Amino acid sequence: MKQEFFTLGSFEFPADVQIIKGKLEAEGIQVFLRDENTINSDPLISSAIGGVKLQVYTTDMERAKLIFDEVRNYATDMEGKPIVCPNCKAERSEIYYSRSSVFYKLFPFFEPKKYRCTSCNFITKPES
Ligand SMILES: [Zn+2]
């Protein structure tokens, strides 16, 4: 039987992938990573090729999606409340790094924190 793959997501940093991969494998789902070797040998080109793609068999797709949704850390504010998207009111935002300039690539901790809504891709910039 020919197996088809489903791409669960792509990740800029191999460390993020390892967390999700570990969780899926703990649930007995076989995980395949693409492009990881290229990234490890040269991290600067990872965004150019879209990062590491995490794939599962399509037969595991539904289960993998559920686990992925649980594992994914949605961004919260200082009090631990979920960040609410001002555009669609969803409470599922991730921390977003644009890393648009060379400066932020070298010093990512100087970049102001932003959030990206996983429902509508709206970028929120919280007031500080
Ligand atoms: Zn939204």
Question: How far is Cα 119 from Cα 99, in angstroms, rounded to an integer?
Answer: 21
Please tell me the predicted confidence (pLDDT) of residue 118.
86
- The predicted model gives 101-120 an average pLDDT of 69
What's the angle, vertex CA 68, arms to CA 119 and CA 48, rounded to 5? 70
Please tell me the predicted confidence (pLDDT) of residue 56.
95
Question: What's the whole-number average pLDDT of the chain?
Answer: 77
* Distance from Cα 94 to the centre of ligand 1, integer Å: 11
Question: How far is Cα 72 from Cα 94, in angstroms, rounded to an integer?
Answer: 9
Residues, Cβ < 5 Å to ion ligand 1: 85, 87-88, 90, 117, 119-120, 122
pLDDT tens across 15-55, in order? 778 888 999 999 999 999 887 555 455 555 544 555 788 99
Q: Which residues touch 48 (CB under 8 Å, ≥6 apart)? A: none
pLDDT of residue 109 exceeding 80: no
* Distance from Cα 87 to the centre of ligand 1, integer Å: 5
